[in-house]
Amino acid sequence: MSHFEGDLRVAPDSRFVVVASRWNPRIVDAMVDAARRTFADHGVLAESLDVVRVPGAWEIPLAAARAARRGYRGIVALGCVVRGETRHFEHVADCCAHGLMRVSLDAGVPVANGVLAVELHEDAEARAGGALGNKGEEAVLAVLEMAQLIEQLA
């Protein structure tokens, strides 16, 4: 019986991309910074990492789909949607998540969903370098592991 499990090794020619929204910049920028540091800490050179900025979470899946066609080994999606007084929150957050999963399955490229969907700005702050860690870092670790696993399964 074979056992497959990804690890955090990075192939030397690997290229990755972070697709991040500009909406809620204080939160998202903290996650992007953490993502860059985490990629660097795991041997991804600055020239092997691209960052694509889009207006908001709604636009992330389209940019991720285009990025998937460019040969990236993995995509990290980062954004922040905070509940408001309308159901717009659910629509944007759910459609973004579904779109990112579709990109991953259609392209066969790991896509880590680091798009926060939170009740309050304080909840986002806790997940962007606060008490609950940083989802930018966590998303990078997930995409690195999945990229290595996909390589094993090829």
Q: What's the burial of 48, exposed, middle or buried (CB within 10 Å: 0-12/13-18/19+)? A: middle
Calculate helix-pair angle for 135-153, 25-41, nearest 10 degrees.
50
Catalytic residue list:
88
Question: CB 5: neighbour CB atoms within 10 A?
Answer: 8
Q: State both tokens at 150.
A: 């996909």
